[in-house]
Amino acid sequence: MAIIQMVHDLPSDVTGKTWKEKNLETTHKIPLWSLVEIDYEDATNKGVRLLVCGHTRDCDGTPLYSLTWDRDYYEQFVNNQYATVSTGGYSEDGLKVIRAASNNRFNLTPISRSSQVKQMLCGRFSRISTGRLYGHTPSPGGGYRGKGKVGK
């Protein structure tokens, strides 16, 4: 009978720790709710910007990240088994941090969070000054109306 030896159970260095033990000591470096860009060289979704919504690990203990497009949607449907609210399995080396998370959910002013998040996810950061986004004026409903593209 053949004995199967998992690679992550092999010793990784002279200390005698296995690869899995060594990987489990590694912490996640990207905080939850940070805006990241997928940066894998040959990925079809390279350049897509999403929010980190979960810290997970691979079978060998390697830190992985789950990503979502909207925090409110994620929090509303995360426990619904039929809703797709995130995608997972991204490693640190394939993600580029665009904006690290802070205590203020997205470092945004309260004038229209959803519009600002949509612009961030599209890669179009606009300067916020005196309650206006460049090229747009606040509408009575809290959204934005205006002409032309959002400034780069």
| pLDDT per residue as tens digits for the range 23-62 | 899 999 999 999 999 998 888 889 999 999 999 999 889 9
Higher pLDDT among residues 138 and 54, named by residue? 54
Check pLDDT > 80 for residue 112: no
Q: Which residues contact 15 (CB under 8 A, 6 or more apart)?
A: none
pLDDT tens-digit map of 52-109 = 999 999 988 999 999 999 998 898 898 888 888 888 889 999 999 999 987 545 444 4
Domains and CATH numbers, the chain: 12-102 (2.30.30), 108-152 (no CATH)
Distance CA(12)–CA(75), nearest Å, equals 39
Residue 9's pLDDT is 72
Distance CA(53)–CA(67), nearest Å, equals 5
For the chain, first and last CA: distance in Å? 64
Residue 96's pLDDT is 95
Instruction: Report if pTM > 0.85.
Output: no
What secondary structure does DSSP assign to 11-47, as a single string? Answer: B-STT--BHHHHHHHPPP-SPTT-EEEE--TT-TTTT
Distance CA(110)–CA(106), nearest Å, equals 10
Which of 108-119 are b and which e, b meaning 16 or more Cβ less than 10 Å from the residue's Cβ? eeeebeebbbeb
Residue 42's pLDDT is 85
Higher pLDDT among residues 143 and 26, named by residue? 26
Residue 2's pLDDT is 65
